[in-house]
């Protein structure tokens, strides 16, 4: 991300050159800013969703500081008579007294091993001339503390590489007092699938991408049929913060990603691929095609991309996709299917969804292990017995996970 200064009034709106046009655009911006403030004052999530999708999104960081917490289900920040945010009391460090999260060492290792790219994240793309090394270190410390605070507050979450890209966007836009609560709710209620013990739920999300392409552009889908959809991992996993360099672009993109349901990110990637169909059709070599598909164009008309992605979503909603039924009912894609409803969910509800998903993953891992053992020890005379053993494991796993080990020992004894 490339930063355009530290002014809170950074804007994503495009200014025309002619004075008359500039005044017209300025008037439109003022009306929209007023509409955003009114929607924030009323905590009107549906209106904020509409405004987030419209041209320019929330326009400035000061308005994002009002709107983003509301979209994530927090109370509206308080303002004075001049619509200025009032100071909020920040956590003075009580989270530091909580037990260290198991992934904190990995977080620090990532910070050290990726220092050059991390500096790019910390400065939104390039080190400004007036940003000293001490400022860089201060930002690094703030980012590290934010991630540690969220992980300690929600210890069941699993850190993933790229999480710092997401956290830094919220840290740059929001007031420091608001960032931890917003990141926690985003992590637990919106991107929970990425923070489970393994990548199974993340892979399941990516499987939706070929389904969208198959419905919207069958010829393009056939052309890339040999390529697994993992090319979309870096973009969707980091809410595009890893790919989009310009600060105002990623902030504008976050406007809509926080306002829409989580699955909208997949539709956006599908639209990016479809927008490049001519380039993609010119390539037949699989390895090169994989590289091209993973590439996010440096310059995009984000307002147009968002509008086309919304039309794609409406034309081919998730419920019509073949792979949608394979998505867990506890997945954030389904529990936050209505972003407004998700804003009303609690962290405790999110933790319950997490535990459900984690148990499902344990069951799938055990099932796959038993099937692998069955294949390795396959004997025709014991095929029926193996099927019964698998059924026993399934029964006990679902009702009493504590006895799984003893069941597995029995299965192994049976096979030996």
pLDDT along the chain (416 residues), means of 10: 49 40 65 94 94 95 95 81 58 83 91 58 48 76 93 97 93 90 97 94 96 97 95 95 90 96 97 96 93 92 97 97 96 93 94 95 73 60 53 52 46 44
Angle between helices 45-53 and 302-315 (to 10 degrees): 120
The answer to whether 262 touches 336, Cβ cutoff 8 Å, is yes
The answer to whether 166 touches 191, Cβ cutoff 8 Å, is yes
What pLDDT was estimated at residue 160?
95
Residues in CB range of 92: below 8 A, 6 or more apart: none
Residues in CB range of 278: below 8 A, 6 or more apart: none
What pLDDT was estimated at residue 375?
59
What pLDDT was estimated at residue 127?
42
What pLDDT was estimated at residue 81?
54
* Number of residues that make up the chain: 416
What pLDDT was estimated at residue 406?
46
What pLDDT was estimated at residue 195?
97
Distance of CA 191 to the CA centre of its chain: 5
What pLDDT was estimated at residue 141?
87
């Amino acid at each position: 991300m490339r930063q355009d200064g530290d002014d809170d009034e950074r804007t994503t709106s495009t200014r025309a050159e002619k004075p008359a046009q500039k005044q017209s655009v300025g008037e439109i911006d003022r009306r929209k800013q007023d509409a955003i403030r009114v929607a924030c004052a009323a905590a009107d999530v549906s209106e904020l969703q509409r405004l987030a999708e419209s041209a320019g999104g929330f326009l400035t960081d000061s308005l994002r500081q009002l709107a983003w917490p509301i979209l994530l289900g927090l109370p509206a920040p308080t303002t004075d008579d001049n619509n200025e945010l009032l100071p909020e009391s920040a956590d003075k460090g009580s989270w530091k007294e909580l037990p260290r999260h198991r992934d904190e060492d990995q977080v620090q290792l990532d910070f050290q091993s990726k220092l050059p790219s991390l500096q790019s994240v910390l400065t939104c793309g390039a080190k400004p001339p007036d940003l000293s090394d001490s400022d860089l270190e201060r930002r690094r410390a703030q980012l590290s503390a934010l991630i540690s605070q969220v992980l300690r507050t929600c210890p069941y979450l699993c850190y993933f590489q790229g999480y710092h890209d997401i956290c830094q966007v919220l840290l740059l836009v929001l007031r420091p007092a608001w960032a931890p609560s917003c990141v926690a709710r985003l992590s637990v209620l919106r991107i929970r699938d990425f923070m489970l013990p393994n990548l199974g739920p993340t892979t399941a999300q990516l499987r939706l991408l070929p389904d969208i392409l198959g419905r919207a552009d069958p010829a393009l889908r056939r052309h890339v049929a040999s390529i697994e959809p993992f090319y979309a991992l870096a973009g969707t996993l980091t809410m595009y913060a890893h790919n989009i360099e310009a600060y105002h672009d990623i902030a504008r993109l976050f406007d809509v990603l926080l306002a829409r349901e989580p699955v909208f990110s997949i539709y956006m990637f599908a639209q990016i691929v479809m927008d490049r169909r001519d380039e993609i059709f010119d390539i037949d070599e699989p390895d090169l095609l994989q590289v091209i598909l993973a590439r996010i164009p440096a310059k995009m008309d984000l307002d147009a991309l968002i509008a086309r992605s919304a039309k794609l979503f409406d034309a081919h909603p998730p419920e019509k996709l073949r792979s949608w039924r394979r998505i867990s009912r506890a997945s954030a894609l389904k529990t936050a299917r209505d972003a407004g409803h998700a804003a009303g969910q609690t962290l405790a509800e999110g933790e319950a969804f997490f535990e459900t998903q984690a148990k499902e993953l344990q069951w799938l891992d055990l099932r796959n292990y038993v099937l692998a053992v069955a294949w390795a020890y396959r004997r025709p005379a014991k095929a029926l017995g193996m099927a019964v053993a698998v059924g026993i494991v399934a029964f006990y796993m679902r009702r009493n996970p504590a006895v799984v080990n003893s069941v597995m020992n029995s299965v192994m004894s049976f096979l030996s």
